[in-house]
Amino acid sequence: MRISSKTDYVQANLFLLEIEKHTTIDDLNLVDNQNHHIFAEEKSKTCARFKRNFPERLAYKLSAQLMSRYKLGLPKNKNITINLNMFCCEDYWLKRVRAASSRAIEQVRRMTGLINKAKGIYCSDNARDNWMWHKEQSQAYLESTYIENEDGQTFSLADIAKTNVSNPTIRRCEMMTRIRGFEEVAKFNGDLGDFYTITTPSKMHSHSTTGIKNSKYNNTTSKQANDYLCNVWARIRAKLEREQIKIYGIRVSEPHHDATPHWHLLLFTAPKHRERTREIIQHYAMFEDGNEPGAEEHRYKCIPIDPAKGDAAGYIAKYVAKNIDGEFIKTDSYGNEAKSSAQRITAWANLNGIRQFQFIGGPSVTLWRQLRRAEAQENQELEACRKVADASDWAAYVLLMGGINKTRLERPIQLEYQQPENDIDYETGEINLCTGRYGAPLSTPIIGFKVRNIIVPIKRKLWLLKPSPPDDDCSLARDERENNLHQVVTLDLCK
């Protein structure tokens, strides 16, 4: 009615057709939640018939075509046996359909003007409430589930979560430590930093801050807009690689008020490559619709890091905080309370499957975290890295690990993973691989550090999952359990 009153019924009907395009794929109605189970069951059985009646490769091809027909995406795994098992699973189909349904419904809200500064900023109220509900359910599970090791130490999973990057405070602090470390590496190397902002073309923005619909908007979804930025960045990285220009830093993806993503990048490079790096990033950022009105002002920005005005970490700090928990900042870019905005931004990223942060050019953070948990080592090279990691000195860690922009195999220290154990049928000699639900090998735990082909084992404890609280008689007091949390090195959750 609102559209027809402003234009005519023809435009209103055309708009309804656009909504139908986003909520219906072939015979799949994404908003009809009651039939999603039936749909998933039918398609998984169809794939199972393919598997029974055709050679594996042909069955996989037919199943992949079926899933592509509904635009549900394909598994990233390259093993066709594992992927075919996924296609034959009703739960796998249902999970994909539900994700597509949530995004389709959110896109309709965006198209109808419910997601913008004037209505619901960053995401709809429904999306935020749904994300908070799932978070509460996860927290309830963590609090009611316990793990116990062979020494009798018992902790709830909620206690464990408080001590790692699942805790937003720890996540934010670790990120700022790494950013500060990159800045110190840049000073050591004599590199210079720039703060970039890259935004999508106007046609991907749905509404103005006043709630007025953008006449150029082509109904691009938030996910599609972020994929566009990923493609832009891939071209930038490829061009820099061809010209042998090395960069390092961090990338932050965050939404505009109408849920359209844009990127902030804090990048360091050698002085001789600084101008060329700017030219390359600007060229690809402005490549599509670069001549449209307002493009020069909004599509690409580059701010040189000026030590007189503040350090590099200061330039990016508010964007990191705003996208995690809103701590230490009062309001976001639109004047809204920061902590509330952080919830909506996180819900937006979770719903659309968007990676908010990505570090570029540094060594493994997983190895860094393992070193921080490890005890003192006899190997001098390993002990040096352990000490700087324990002291939260990311810059020293980067330098000891060979510097920036090295491949994993070029680093002096790597993680060693346990190979999956196999069951052997001694009568037939057949080896049965220990695999998960779809036939993929079970996740391999970290068993040590590999220091220039020398394996240094990690002291590990076996932990058993307990779905109920421990008895008071056999469990440690809560205060004592918390004091012992630092002793947890690697958790093997064995049912």
Annotated catalytic residues are 315, 319
CB 297 within 8 A of CB 274: no
300 three-state secondary structure: strand
Six-digit token string for 29? 């109605």
Handedness of CA 66, 67, 71, 75 (dihedral sign): negative
Residue 325, CA distances (Å) to 131, 167, 330, 351, 378 in order: 14, 10, 11, 17, 40
CA-nearest of 264, 117, 78, 58 to 179 is 264
DSSP annotation of 457 reads E
The residue with tokens 């509900």 is 133
Cα separation of 399 and 147, whole Å? 37
Number of H helices, E strands in the chain: 18, 16
Query: What 3-state class would DSSP assign to 114?
Result: coil
Residue 228 is classified by DSSP as H
Alpha-carbon 335 to chain mean position: 27
Nearest in space to 250 (alpha carbons), one of 355, 368, 380, 350: 355
User: How much of the chain is in helix, strand and coil states, percent to nearest 5?
Assistant: 50, 15, 35
Coil vs helix vs strand at 360: strand
Mode of pairing for the β-strands spanning 357-360 and 248-255: antiparallel
The two structure tokens encoding residue 311: 């350090």
CA distance 488 to 469: 19
Going from the C-alpha of 278 to that of each of 248, 303, 405, the distances in angstroms are 14, 10, 19
Torsion (CA) 177, 183, 184, 188 in degrees, nearest 10: 160
> What is the pairing mode between strands 28-29 and 24-25?
antiparallel
Q: Which of 121, 153, 366, 161 is nearest to 254 (CA)?
A: 121
Reference 359, options 269, 225, 267; nearest CA is 267
| Angle of helix 36-53 versus helix 90-111 axis, rounded to 10 | 140
